[in-house]
Amino acid sequence: MDHWYTFAIIALFFLGIQRFLYKVSAERGCNSAWTSFSFMGTVAFLSTVLFLAMDETVRSGGFLLLVALVNSLTFFAATMSNMEALKRIPAGVAYPIIRLNAAIVVVFSIFYFGDDLSGYQGIGIFLALGAVVILARDSEQKDGSDGNRKLGFLFMGISILAGALASISSKFAALYTNKMAFMAVSYTFATFFAFGFRKKAQPPAANTHHKDALIIGFFMGLINLAGFYCYLKALTTGPLSIVTSITAMHFVIAILLSALIYRERLNSWRITGIFLTMTSILLLRM
């Protein structure tokens, strides 16, 4: 089995659990910036320690700083808007729509990197995107006020664009710089962004005791450290279009955990979408 595919599948599971913790943070009314601060600070600290322990070198410090800055800005924006959207839109609706960023990444990868896809892999990508559309089928359901839903969809739009740019910048980092150094610098930048945003992300009804946010963010960081590193390892030799299509389906794990723990319903559309997701993962291996 190709190593990049194995790393992509591992990343899929880790990132799925991490995404579920976004839902936990939203359900507990946590300040999104404080959760992000703890999450990103944990990854920044641990990746810096690991980079220093590995005693590796960085080829181009300037390129590392540039790609890390772009990645941290876009990833921070995607993370914040994701958690804010989950406060207004059910996880079963928000996650699939947000993962439409995979379509942007796939198109970019095919035209820029010239990904050479087999027929089965092309069908797998098509099914993966189809699963996203099907899982978003019930997005018209009413939850809360109309204005609240509109704001939720605005946050999802921001997350789609920012998430796509974060994935693309990750590919360049995986190819041209040290992965652990990239994680250390990128997450350090993002930690400062989160700290600077902590007051603006505090709505009147939010939990003013930040212990929950810090604890949830800490466990997010531990899981993301493993998941994002596996994602970068997969991107080193694997096609961006396929690796992104696989990892983009991590929301299925978050939906299943949300259904199990928060009793969010699994209707026929969502079950169909999950089935297509599993089928596409198998096809993307061929």
Give the separation between CA 97 and CA 51, rounded to whole angstroms. 35
Question: Residue 212, Cα to own-chain centre: how many angstroms?
Answer: 21
Of 14, 5, 2, which is closest to residue 228 (Cα–Cα)? Answer: 14
Residue type (1 letter), 233: K
The predicted model gives 84-109 an average pLDDT of: 79
* Nearest-angstrom CA–CA distance, 265 and 276: 18
40/16 Cα distance (integer angstroms): 17
The predicted pLDDT at position 132 comes to: 67
pLDDT: which is higher, 80 or 69: 69
- pLDDT category at 215 given cuts 50, 70, 90 is very high
Q: What are the phi and psi torsion angles at 92 (to 5°)?
A: -65, -20
Residue 138 has a pLDDT of 54
Place of tokens 């963010």: 217
First-to-last CA distance in the chain?
Answer: 10
Instruction: List pLDDT tens digits, range 16-71.
Output: 999 899 888 888 888 878 888 899 999 999 999 999 998 888 888 999 999 999 99
Dump pLDDT digits (tens) for 237-266. 999 988 988 888 887 888 888 888 887 777
* Structure-model confidence comparison of residues 7 and 89, the more confident one: 7
Q: Give the C-alpha separation, 206 to 105, whole Å.
A: 34
CA distances (Å), origin 240, targets 15, 34, 227, 237, 254:
17, 31, 16, 9, 23
